[in-house]
Amino acid sequence: MHIWFVGIGEPLPFVDKDRLLRYGEVTRHLVRQGHRVTWWTSDFSHSRKEYIGMPNERIAADGINYVLVHSTPYKSNVGIARLFHVSSHARNLERAIAGESPPDIIVSAMPTIEASEVAVNFAKAAGVPVVVDIRDEWPEDYVRWLPAVLRPLGRLALRSKFIQLARVCQRATALLGVSERQLRYGLQYAGRAPGPEDGVVYTGARHVQSDGSCAEAQIERWRGLGITTDKFVCVFSGTMSPSRPLSPIVDAVMRLSRSIPIVLVIAGAGDSEQSYRRQARDHPAVLFTGWLDGDSLGTLLNLSDVVLAPYHPDFGFSLPTKIFDYMAVGRPIVSSCPGEAAALIERHRFGINYTFDRSDEVERALLRLYDAPLLRAQMGATAKRLFDEKFDLDVVVADFAVRIEAIGSRRVSVPPEASRPGKAMV
């Protein structure tokens, strides 16, 4: 069958070969299964913040047809420029697909709401099923970035986007979510209970091993920076932002360093980095590394004793990809992520949950794990086993592909007011 994917923001195989995510992997899988795949994406890279091709350029790579729909640029992930970007992408997508021969099924990532509405409208007019894949809680995520006192005004300002989201979810053939929370979000706006074709398809992750010589060189590098075998190594990797509060962790580690040989390695960057550097005051137990390549980060995680997942409950996290990345390396997780992540950790006992703003709880959790090497090993083994069974990207992709094939195997009825896709509104 011919399958369309509509989605921006993910790494593309012909640009970012080092790490593919859900769409990059499932499109390749479907091609290997004998399907024809077209991926309508953007000519502007979300991760690189730069153009990666010519406007509306069509590229064939690895058996997949990519269409780089032109979109305006942006520098910050949250802001007016990002809103202009998604709007321009949707307008140009509508122009680009007008007159195209319909596929057998369309899978559209939400966000963006705007492109998903274009996909849903085209699918309904063509009489083909359309799956809306809920990956984030737009536009509610925009509201969450506002101070609490301004959030009612934010929802009012974005009212048209909430209405648009409801239209998209109500008209989709099926809704998928990257977690139960995201699925519930879509169903809430669809105004219905889950149906047989709705479900959860996790983001998943992949445990990538470095080759031996590269790993040895990286180990020596980290040893030179103080990550030695006599240290209790705690690692955070990711974006430093208000949604990932590191202050309680920094405080806890600085206190613990008076009594145990602990080191906190913060790998990443972000808007909050300077604040955390000021808090740490060049303390020898806190090491900032900046962004790391895959080999460096992989080696660091393998040298770690504990991995840290600080998340603020106000920002809508439930089961982020970082949890899967950490599970893949088989280390206990100290986490403040609410919802499904907290329940998963509690149920399977592969880490310790704490309240996001309580440094005393972080301190107790780290001290408990420091004092119990056998417990650390048991938790790490449980995390890795559960990852292999349920959250490995190969497992996730196989499930995703089966769902797409099942929904795409049937045609939906063409509404009486439209027998073929209409021309784009300009």
Q: What is the pLDDT of residues 340-385, one digit of tens each?
A: 999 999 999 999 999 999 999 999 999 999 999 999 999 999 999 9
Do 355 and 383 belong to one domain? yes
Taking residues 267-276, report their average pLDDT: 92
Taking residues 21-40, report their average pLDDT: 95
Do 145 and 216 belong to one domain? no
Q: 423 in a domain, yes or no?
A: no
Name the region of 385 (left: φ>0; alpha: ψ -120 to 50; beta: rest): alpha
Token pair, residue 310, equals: 């600080």
CA-closest candidate to residue 70, choices 99, 38, 92:
92
Across the beta sheet with 36-42, the strand order is 57-61, 64-69, 36-42, 2-6, 105-110, 130-134, 174-177, 199-200
Q: 413 in a domain, yes or no?
A: no
Check residue 77 and give its pLDDT. Answer: 74
SS3 320: coil
Do 344 and 361 belong to one domain? yes
The H-assigned helical ranges of 194-320 are: 212-224, 247-256, 273-280, 294-303
Do 93 and 110 belong to one domain? yes
**Comparing 370 with 211, which gets the higher pLDDT?**
370
Token pair, residue 269, equals: 């960057």
Token pair, residue 388, equals: 């292999």
Q: 35 in a domain, yes or no?
A: yes
Check residue 397 and give its pLDDT. Answer: 96
Q: Are 5 and 23 in contact (CB under 8 A)?
A: yes
Check residue 423 and give its pLDDT. Answer: 37
Do 152 and 47 belong to one domain? yes
Q: 369 in a domain, yes or no?
A: yes
Do 179 and 262 belong to one domain? no
Owning domain of residue 169: 2-204+392-408
Taking residues 220-230, report their average pLDDT: 85
SS3 174: strand
Residue 20's pLDDT band, with cuts at 50, 70 and 90, is: confident
Do 386 and 249 belong to one domain? yes
- Count structural domains, the chain: 2
Give the CATH number of the domain where residue 159 resides. Answer: 3.40.50.2000
Q: Are 122 and 102 in contact (CB under 8 A)?
A: yes
The single residue listed with the structure tokens 């979109």 is 71
pTM for the structure as a whole: 0.84
Q: What is the mean pLDDT of the chain?
A: 90
Do 261 and 135 belong to one domain? no
Residue 425's pLDDT band, with cuts at 50, 70 and 90, is: very low
Do 158 and 273 belong to one domain? no
Q: 321 in a domain, yes or no?
A: yes
Q: 426 in a domain, yes or no?
A: no
Do 112 and 239 belong to one domain? no
Do 226 and 284 belong to one domain? yes
Check residue 18 and give its pLDDT. Answer: 57
Q: Who contacts 76 (Cβ-Cβ below 8 Å, separation ≥6)? A: 82
Residue 189's pLDDT band, with cuts at 50, 70 and 90, is: very high
Do 104 and 221 belong to one domain? no
Q: 145 in a domain, yes or no?
A: yes
Q: 422 in a domain, yes or no?
A: no
